[in-house]
């Protein structure tokens, strides 16, 4: 199974359901549609829509898309598409969006990188999406043939690229897409959608709650962030000015979380703080981040948020996410510049949602207690311990679950470590004992987890990433003020002797530092007990 996903979300436009009493009957609607009706400009394709609450059509990998097209061309069983006709005679896809979009992609040669997709995403398409599209195209062209090649073969058999294209092209004339229709109004159609989509491939619980709360500010903010403010505008009912502000805030957050783009195996320490921007798990991750940043998570439960009538609440939600994101990374003066290798990725190079949310919660607590200076004073020791004990976050995830399920234990671990470090306890053995004797954390064991590689001949992606990271950690930059690790996204240049005190702008007076250390901590050091981090001796 591939780790890349084909984004077909731009092929069928989204639109609101229309709840009107004069709902047309589905009794006389066709039970099949020919493949040619999916060509651009054909009547059937022109009226196709997805409900505005439909999840992104981006959960299939290239092999799955190719298998669907191969099954259709070979006249194998392809489950029926379930549709609903609105009062305005638009045709909404209730079930089968991936199947139908895959066939459209083949017909229009648009696997997330064609004309419709580029227009939909405003020509802002991640490289991973382009790579997945090209991989899909190569598989299909090799194993089935492009739709245009088959059409050419039927009218020009003597010039067909492959003999089998002629047989496949002839077969297409008698093949059809099976269709079932939902009979009823918009409420019935929406109920059918959620009922059907909880069978078979079940919607992720986080995504399900997001779909049902689609006009709430937390859902709108997450939708905006996941595509950097482009794609379908779920916020299109708001004023032009509000839409523009939502898109700007969303892009700022997206860039902070997902730049530079993650490539695996990892061969650089310049990696994003939030993992892949392009995966089936990213939207639930962002939705949980929005809720955590806006205090709508109680324990492990996301609270219901009222709908946003004018977009102002969505903007407020986005601003809070931005504030937290800027605290974690970037060059804003408030940024701690936390290094992703230290905080957000395991020893194998895999992104760790549980640790990510633990850091978000920790940053919010430090903010509410005005404790950033105290954190910075011991930060170097804190990060060294985390790097040496990366397996602890894996143990928390294994026991309590990933993401919001286990993040509270990560916070407990971090706060325990910080409390001891700030109290002057810096020896590794003492810190380990403090953890094992803590009632809430006594399940943790100081034994690294090693995967058995004895029977494997080739290096896995994880092995390649972990090998690089284990070597690269030694060469990470350090902040010259607090001594902790620095990420390229958060480098600032500090005057060793301040300009106001006559410091020159030459290299001998320059040093690299975290934005927060440069803008704030440096001036606070003399006021803090201990004045700087505890001694490393």
Does 249 reside within a domain? yes
Answer yes or no: do 136 and 230 share one domain: no
Answer yes or no: do 194 and 212 share one domain: no
Answer yes or no: do 212 and 270 share one domain: yes
Answer yes or no: do 199 and 214 share one domain: no
Does 322 reside within a domain? yes
The structural domain count of the chain equals 2
Does 129 reside within a domain? yes
Answer yes or no: do 209 and 295 share one domain: yes
Q: From CA 355, how far away is CA 466, in angstroms rounded?
A: 18
Cα angle 237, 241, 245; round to 5: 95
Domain boundary among 203, 228, 262: 203
Q: From CA 172, how far away is CA 480, in angstroms rounded?
A: 68
- Residue 172's pLDDT is what? 83
Q: From CA 19, how far away is CA 505, in angstroms rounded?
A: 67
Greatest mean pLDDT among 15-19, 212-216, 429-433 = 429-433
What torsion do the CA atoms of 263, 266, 267, 273 make, to the nearest 10 degrees? 80
- Residue 298's pLDDT is what? 77
| Sequence-ordered list of residues with C-beta below 8 angstroms from that of 177, at least 6 positions apart, any chain | 32, 33, 34, 35, 72, 78, 81, 100, 103
Does 120 reside within a domain? yes
Greatest mean pLDDT among 320-329, 344-353, 401-410, 515-524 = 320-329
pLDDT band (50, 70, 90) for residue 1: very low
Domain boundary among 304, 335, 366: 335
- Residue 303's pLDDT is what? 83
pTM above 0.85, yes or no: no
pLDDT band (50, 70, 90) for residue 533: very low
Count other Cβ atoms within 10 Å, centred on residue 136: 28
- Residue 3's pLDDT is what? 55
Whether 124 contacts 132, CB under 8 Å? no
Provide the terminal-to-terminal Cα distance of the chain, rounded to the nearest Å: 50
- Its domain, for residue 287, covers 205-335
Whether 9 contacts 54, CB under 8 Å? no
Is the pLDDT at 384 greater than 60, yes or no? yes
Domain boundary among 279, 306, 335: 335
**What tokens appear for 222 in the block?**
């997450």
Q: From CA 519, how far away is CA 490, in angstroms rounded?
A: 13
Q: Please provide the average confidence, as pLDDT, over all residues in the chain.
A: 88
């Amino acid at each position: 199974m591939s780790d890349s996903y084909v984004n077909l979300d731009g092929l069928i436009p989204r639109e609101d359901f229309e709840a009107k009493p004069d709902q047309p009957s589905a009794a006389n609607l066709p039970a099949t549609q020919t493949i040619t009706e999916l060509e651009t400009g054909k009547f059937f394709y022109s009226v196709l829509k997805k409900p505005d609450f439909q999840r992104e059509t981006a959960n299939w990998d290239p092999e799955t898309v190719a298998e669907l097209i191969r099954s259709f061309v070979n006249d194998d069983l392809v489950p029926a598409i379930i549709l609903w006709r609105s009062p305005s005679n638009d045709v909404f896809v209730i079930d089968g969006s991936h199947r139908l979009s895959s066939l459209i992609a083949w017909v229009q040669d648009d696997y997330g990188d064609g004309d419709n997709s580029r227009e939909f995403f405003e020509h802002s398409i991640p490289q991973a999406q382009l790579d997945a599209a090209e991989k899909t195209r190569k598989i299909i062209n090799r194993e089935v043939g492009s739709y245009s090649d088959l059409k050419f073969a039927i009218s020009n058999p003597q010039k067909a690229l492959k003999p089998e294209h002629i047989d496949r092209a002839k077969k297409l004339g008698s093949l059809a897409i099976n269709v079932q229709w939902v009979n009823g109004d918009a409420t019935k159609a929406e109920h059918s959608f959620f009922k059907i989509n909880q069978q078979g491939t079940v919607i992720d619980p986080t995504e399900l709650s997001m779909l049902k709360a689609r006009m709430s500010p937390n859902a709108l903010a997450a939708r905006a962030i996941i595509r950097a403010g482009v794609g379908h505008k779920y916020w299109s009912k708001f004023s032009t000015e509000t839409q523009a502000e939502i898109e700007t805030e969303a892009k700022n957050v997206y860039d902070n979380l997902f730049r530079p783009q993650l490539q695996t195996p990892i061969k650089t320490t310049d990696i994003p703080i939030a993992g892949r921007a392009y995966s089936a798990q990213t939207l639930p991750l962002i939705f949980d981040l929005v809720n955590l940043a806006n205090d709508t998570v109680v324990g492990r439960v996301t609270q219901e948020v009222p709908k946003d009538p004018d977009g102002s609440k969505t903007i407020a939600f986005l601003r809070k996410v931005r504030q937290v994101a800027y605290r974690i990374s970037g060059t804003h003066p408030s940024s701690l510049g936390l290094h992703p290798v230290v905080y957000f990725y395991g020893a194998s190079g895999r992104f760790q949602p549980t640790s990510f949310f633990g850091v978000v919660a920790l940053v919010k607590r430090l903010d509410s207690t005005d404790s950033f200076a105290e954190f910075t004073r011991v930060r170097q020791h804190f990060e060294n311990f985390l790097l040496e004990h990366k397996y602890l976050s894996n143990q928390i995830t294994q026991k309590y679950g990933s993401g919001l399920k286990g993040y509270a234990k990560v916070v407990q671990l971090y706060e325990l470590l910080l409390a001891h470090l700030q109290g002057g306890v810096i020896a590794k053995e003492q810190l380990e004992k403090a953890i094992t004797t803590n009632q809430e954390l006594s399940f943790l064991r100081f034994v690294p987890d090693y995967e058995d590689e004895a029977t494997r001949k080739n290096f896995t992606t994880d092995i390649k990433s972990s090998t690089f990271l284990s070597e690269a950690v030694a060469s990470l930059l350090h902040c010259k003020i607090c001594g902790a690790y620095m990420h390229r996204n958060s480098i600032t240049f500090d005057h060793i002797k301040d300009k106001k005190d006559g410091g020159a702008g030459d290299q001998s007076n320059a040093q690299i530092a975290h934005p927060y250390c440069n803008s704030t901590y440096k001036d606070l050091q003399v006021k803090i007990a201990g004045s700087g981090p505890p001694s490393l001796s």
